[in-house]
């Protein structure tokens, strides 16, 4: 996610803002910028790259100001470069704005504002907001009214901070879905995406809620709803250390990122809706130019590919193969111009995946990449890119990237199916409605876990295990693989994922009372078969931990431990079923006292063969 810092007060705004942006660097970013009100003008400086580039330059430029805003950009729309970096200015250069989130209706707003004579300089969705405020100001009595009117027209997610020559003693902020907090100082006030940005100055904060805007001066903070009515807000004192604050109070980034999945899935849906609904073009791909698909990926991304095979073959009815990228590149695959090769990669820098892409391209295949990092190598070498909007994934163990990859792959399947006639528009909309319910279902499960700690208690029962077996069938067999990968990569316990039907062909020899057997047993066409497999395990004194739904009573009676998850469409069940397994691995690794975010021998992005 992007980082926002704003300041107004007695100190040098430049230093406070740069210091604050540095404390948000953990959020990941590709460019940074600052805007200050200096001698009746707005001074801006923004660059692709790290904050230190800005800092060096600002030291050379003697600017002093008491009010300003700054931003670290995690690109969602528009490549990482100087022009797309925030802040963005209106045509009159009297308004500067920074934004974190996704403006879903930016295409429509950009068309409208261009027709009204506004000139755009960037490819970002964000820039439409500052021109919208400028446009609203033409028929508003004051800046606040214009700001409020503009914010009310936005669809999607936003945390916004604005400074303006029209009212230079005030920072204007607004929030919907993307976090924004206000820090209360003595004769000075702060705004930021996250508490660490100003925690060294004050720990007294006001958390803005969705659909609220605020005016912040050096001595006063006023909060309003979108009707312009004042809202009373509580001041909260933050007890966190700086390190805890960077993880938003979570002990590790992995736990924070597991809990960010509802927002990440929601952002991935809203960030891709425009091409799904054909309001914009999914560039670089002719859906009639291929008659089969090959998926290449590594690790967790490979598991997403195995699930996508079910989507693409069962729903879009197109033959689909899935390969480990490291195997694909040496198996002399049959590839031609009628093949679509889909690479799935969180980082966009995985060497094996890039090599597989280059091999496919040489054989004249079309390349689509599903990626989480704008401007990464994979996105520059693919013909078409579908982004996940998970925000930066800091922990080595991939969690929110995985669930957003499944979301993006499902959206592509709907798009392809409608074009190939295997789904009607009504069926696409029905599936889309199911998909849009996922964030709240994930939220429900995660909130219940925070209250009851069911997964944590079961992890406490098994954290001394030496081996573990994970079983699943059909669309949830890859979830067994993913659950096993999560456990082994952060707790170093040997864990094996297996198709439940394959257990009797070998792994059943492993089972005794010391080997936990995790079984994914949610509603679906193969549930009865999975129940039989659970009975086979029980007959050999195995202890079963079952991921299942409340309505599946038989599993509840058979299993020793139950991880209950909300019921969703079978094809979407992997997105929900994986979450208790992510938490199970996390708690075990934490109980063992390991470095959860940086497991031994592992790197976040494997950029070597």
Residue ranges binding ligand AGP (CB under 6 A): 298-301, 345-347, 350, 353, 396-398, 489, 605-606
Q: CB–CB of 63/39 below 8 Å?
A: no
Q: How far is the CB of 596 from ligand AGP (least distance, A)?
A: 12
Q: CB–CB of 46/75 below 8 Å?
A: no
Count H helices and E strands in the chain, helices first: 20, 24
- Cα 419 to Cα 298, 367, 424, 535, 600: the distances in Å are 29, 18, 9, 44, 46
Q: How far is the CB of 253 from ligand AGP (least distance, A)?
A: 12
Q: Is 180 exposed, middle or buried (0-12, 13-18, 19+ CB in 10 A)?
A: buried
Nearer to ligand AGP, 66 or 372 (CB): 372
Nearer to ligand AGP, 432 or 606 (CB): 606
- Chain residue at closest Cβ approach to ligand AGP: 299
Q: How far is the CB of 325 from ligand AGP (least distance, A)?
A: 8
Q: How far is the CB of 517 from ligand AGP (least distance, A)?
A: 22
Q: CB–CB of 257/403 below 8 Å?
A: no
Q: How far is the CB of 298 from ligand AGP (least distance, A)?
A: 4
Nearer to ligand AGP, 215 or 379 (CB): 379
Q: What is the DSSP letter of 282?
A: -
Q: How far is the CB of 250 from ligand AGP (least distance, A)?
A: 18
Query: Catalytic positions, please?
Result: 2, 604
Taking residue 346's Cβ as centre, other Cβ atoms within 10 Å add up to 30
Q: Which long-range contacts (CB under 8 A, 24 or more apart) does 197-203 make?
A: 197/3, 197/5, 197/20, 197/21, 197/23, 197/24, 198/5, 198/7, 198/16, 198/20, 199/23, 199/238, 199/240, 199/242, 199/245, 200/19, 200/23, 200/242, 201/16, 203/237, 203/238, 203/239, 203/240
Nearer to ligand AGP, 137 or 357 (CB): 357
Could you check whether the bond before residue 87 is cis, i.e. omega within 30 degrees of 0? yes
Nearer to ligand AGP, 45 or 477 (CB): 477
Q: CB–CB of 366/292 below 8 Å?
A: no
Nearer to ligand AGP, 44 or 353 (CB): 353
Nearer to ligand AGP, 339 or 369 (CB): 369
Q: What is the rounded end-to-end Cα distance, in angstroms, of the chain? A: 29
DSSP annotation string for 57-104: HHHHS----SEEEEEEE--SSS-SSTTTSSPEE-TTS-EEEEEEEEET
Q: How far is the CB of 597 from ligand AGP (least distance, A)?
A: 11
Q: CB–CB of 525/570 below 8 Å?
A: yes
């Amino acid at each position: 996610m992007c980082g926002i810092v704003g300041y107004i007060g007695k100190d040098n705004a430049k230093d406070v803002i740069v210091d604050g942006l540095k404390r948000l660097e953990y959020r990941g970013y590709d460019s940074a910028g600052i805007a200050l009100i200096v001698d009746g003008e707005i001074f801006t400086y923004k660059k692709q790259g790290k904050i230190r580039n800005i800092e060096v330059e600002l030291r050379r430029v003697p600017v002093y100001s008491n009010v300003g805003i700054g931003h670290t950009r995690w690109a969602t729309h528009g490549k990482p470069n100087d022009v797309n970096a925030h802040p963005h200015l209106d045509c009159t250069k009297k308004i500067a704005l920074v934004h974190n989130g996704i403006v879903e209706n930016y295409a429509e707003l950009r068309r409208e504002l261009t027709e009204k004579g506004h000139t755009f300089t960037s490819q970002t969705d964000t820039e439409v907001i500052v021109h919208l405020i400028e446009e609203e100001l033409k028929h508003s009595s004051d800046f606040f009214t214009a700001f409020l009117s503009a914010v009310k027209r936005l669809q999607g997610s936003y945390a916004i901070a604005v400074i303006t020559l029209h009212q230079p003693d005030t920072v204007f902020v607004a929030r919907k879905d993307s976090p924004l907090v206000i820090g209360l100082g003595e004769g000075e006030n702060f705004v930021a995406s996250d508490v660490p940005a100003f925690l060294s100055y004050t720990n007294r904060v006001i958390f803005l809620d969705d659909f609220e805007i605020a005016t912040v001066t050096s001595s006063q903070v006023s909060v309003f709803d979108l009707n312009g009515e004042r809202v009373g807000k509580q001041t909260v004192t933050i007890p966190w250390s700086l390190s805890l604050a960077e993880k938003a109070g979570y002990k590790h980034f992995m736990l924070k990122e597991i809990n960010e999945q509802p927002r990440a899935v929601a952002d991935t849906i809203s960030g891709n809706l425009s091409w799904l609904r054909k309001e914009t073009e999914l560039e670089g791909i002719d859906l009639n130019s291929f008659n089969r698909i090959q998926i290449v990926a590594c690790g967790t991304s490979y598991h997403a590919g195995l699930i996508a095979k079910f989507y693409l073959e069962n729903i879009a009815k197109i033959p689909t193969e899935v390969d480990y990228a490291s195997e694909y590149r040496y198996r002399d695959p049959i590839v031609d111009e009628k093949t679509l090769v889909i690479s799935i990669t969180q980082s966009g820098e995985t060497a094996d995946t890039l090599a597989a892409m280059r091999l496919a391209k040489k054989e004249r295949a079309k390349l689509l990449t599903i990626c989480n990092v704008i401007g990464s190598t994979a996105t520059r070498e693919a013909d078409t890119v579908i982004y996940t909007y998970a925000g930066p994934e800091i922990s080595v163990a991939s969690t929110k990237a995985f669930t957003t990859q499944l979301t993006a792959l499902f959206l592509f399947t709907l798009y392809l199916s409608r074009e190939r006639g295997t789904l009607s528009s009504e069926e696409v909309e029905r599936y889309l409605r199911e998909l849009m319910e996922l964030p709240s279902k994930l939220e429900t499960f995660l909130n219940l876990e925070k209250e009851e700690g069911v997964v944590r208690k079961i992890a406490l029962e098994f954290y001394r295990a030496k081996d573990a077996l994970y079983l699943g069938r059909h669309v949830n067999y890859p979830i067994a693989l993913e659950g096993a990968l999560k456990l082994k990569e952060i707790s170093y316990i040997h864990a094996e994922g297996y198709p439940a039907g394959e257990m009797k062909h070998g792994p059943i020899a492993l089972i005794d009372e010391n080997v936990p057997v995790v079984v994914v047993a949610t509603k679906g066409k193969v549930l009865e078969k999975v129940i039989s497999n659970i009975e086979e395990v029980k007959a050999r004194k195995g202890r079963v931990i079952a991921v299942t739904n409340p309505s599946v009573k038989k599993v509840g009676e058979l299993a020793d431990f139950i991880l209950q998850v909300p019921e969703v469409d079978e094809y979407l069940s992997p997105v929900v079923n994986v979450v208790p397994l992510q938490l199970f691995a996390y708690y075990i690794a934490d109980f063992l006292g390991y470095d959860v975010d940086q497991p031994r021998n592992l790197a976040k992005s494997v950029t070597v063969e």
